[in-house]
Amino acid sequence: MGNLQSLIKDYLDYLEVERGRSKKTVENYSHYLKRFSDWAKTEKPSEIDIGLITEYRLYLNRVEDKKGQGLKKITQNYHIIALRNFLRYLAKRDIKSLSAEKIELAKQSPRQVDFLEGEELERLLAAPEGSGPRALRDKALLELLFSTGLRVSELCRLNRDSINLKKGEFSVRGKGEKIRVVFLSERAISAIGNYIGNRKDIDPALFVRFPKSKKMELAQAKLKNLRLTPRSVERIVKHYSIKAGISKKVTPHILRHSFATDLLTGGADIRSVQTLLGHSSITTTQIYTHITDKQLKEVYKAFHGKQRKK
């Protein structure tokens, strides 16, 4: 049967190989489950009971980092979700332990969704100026993020031959290896076309690094992989948000939120937005509804206070 640590390793291998989960997901689950096993100090899955889980939840609620900050409720829930899924894996292998269904998630406040207003968004998209390779790349990158709502990891994995500019659409492999279709706006098609048309390299990646100096160009020539990393994309977005004079923190994920918000305020139904975002659950998409319910606002304006005297 194996001890708890070896079973956790088996589970992580199962997530990667059989479930096809991303490297980042496996890393997160490894972190959450290691924290539990280090704290529980037990080798036997059969010793995991509701009392132990209650104590663990108290521990998660009270633990602090070096700065004296505790774990957010949503982060605590991520730990519990990982543990529940691990327990389901044990049950599938007929290994005696606590039933996952006996563990409930803690209630948490609705997530605060940050997004760019129309005028802020236009300033950001217009921030890359000039006809140099870096400006053309950054213009295409920002337009693509807003046009498709891609996750930054999805954007970084794109290759040039995966983009169909004539059709204005392409398929992307998202979380859980699920494939979905995303669409390009006319502005995104134009920006990507200009960028690709001016590329001199033969790297297959859609978005690549460009050297800032001749010395860096010589060093970079020795590299085989020029593909931008998620961290690089985050720095690019931050750079142009500062240049555009946007005071709030702007990340690639904020552009994803802006994409969803733009669709919903424009009248799109939430199921369609769920599909375009690649959410497996409608619950995830519903974080946007409390700030984008245009219909309720219109009903309010049309009917509220009509009986009052002027």
DSSP 93: T
Residue of 84, 137, 256, 257 with catalytic role: 256
Residue 243 a catalytic site member: no
List strand residue ranges (DSSP E) for the chain, in order: 169-173, 179-183
Residue of 84, 151, 157, 257 with catalytic role: 151
Residues 6+ apart with CB under 8 A from 140: 188, 191, 192, 194, 195, 196, 207
Which residue's entry shows tokens 């369609």? 272
Residue 279 a catalytic site member: yes
Residue of 21, 84, 137, 279 with catalytic role: 279
Residue 151 a catalytic site member: yes
- Coil, helix or strand for 182? strand
Residue of 29, 32, 240, 288 with catalytic role: 288
Residue 304 a catalytic site member: no
Tokens of residue 296, six digits:
């309720």
Residue 290 a catalytic site member: no
The residue type of 220 is: Q
Measured between alpha carbons, how far apart are the two ends of the chain, in Å?
78
Residues 6+ apart with CB under 8 A from 217: 211
Residue 288 a catalytic site member: yes
Residue of 57, 134, 175, 180 with catalytic role: 175
Task: For residue 10, count CB atoms less than 10 angstroms from its CB and return exposed for 0-12, middle for 13-18, buried for 19 or more.
Answer: middle
Positions marked active-site: 151, 175, 253, 256, 279, 288
